[in-house]
Amino acid sequence: MNDKWITEAAHGYGNTIRVTKELFRTKSDFQTIEIYETEKLGKLLLLDGIIQLTSYDEFAYQEMMAHLPCQLHAAPERALVIGGGDGGVLRELGRHSELKTLDICEIDAAVIDAAKRFLPELACGFDDPRVTVHIADGSRFVAEHENTYDVIIVDSTDPGGPGAPLFGEKFYRDLKRALRPGGVIATQSESPWLLPDVVKNLNRAAKAVFRFVGYAGFQVPTYPTGMIGACVATDARDVTAPCREVAPELAAQLRYYTAEIHRASFAQPAFLRELLT
């Protein structure tokens, strides 16, 4: 914190946000957790100095990570979130009344505790009675739950931290085994502007395991480069278009995801198509 500005600086790139107050800081067994009030963007959550979300634009990330895979499954009943300790993806999954079970596996209980204290607009996802919280390593949890879930969402931190085991082909094979027939995954897959090798390798790992794979890019202004992506994969159908209509009651609650945005997020500039070939 320098003159009330916070800078995420990693991978040769930086993003700077003016803050007005430090709300929370702790070092857990896994990472440093910080929450600030900002001048323009509401609250800011950082893990090991990396921006995880701001109140200003968190809805874009949470909605796309949750609704891309859910709208690709004809009738999902059981969902799992790996990571996502802020509760935002759970909040979005909770808007799907057809889901009967919402499991979350988060390695760091301190993230959940901090979110419940300082980010209630996201942590409200934990209030859903369908939610069961598992404090455990996500890669091990998935490997132990074969043929269990219809939708799995991997809301991981960047590679190199606690999320490092979630960025390899073995993990994708375990994800597939954890799915029931027709199941769909969506994994946080970085920005091709910032980490092109990570994007390429994740796409390659998914293609080695699943029949249908796509990289969906979407805007999150407070992430470095302003873009992030999800690797969406299934054996059931083409991932580039939803397989069912967005229910009117769901659509009325959303600010980013639409059926049109679902399709458009898979449209790729030439450099990205080449990267993923």
- Catalytically active residues are 155
CA distance 91 to 155: 13
According to DSSP H, which parts of 2-150 are helical? 58-70, 88-93, 109-118, 120-123, 138-143
CA distance 66 to 70: 6
Q: In this structure, which long-range contacts are made by residues 256-260, counting pairs with CB atoms below 8 Å and at least 24 apart in sequence? A: 256/59, 256/60, 256/63, 256/64, 256/218, 257/63, 257/64, 257/67, 257/68, 259/71
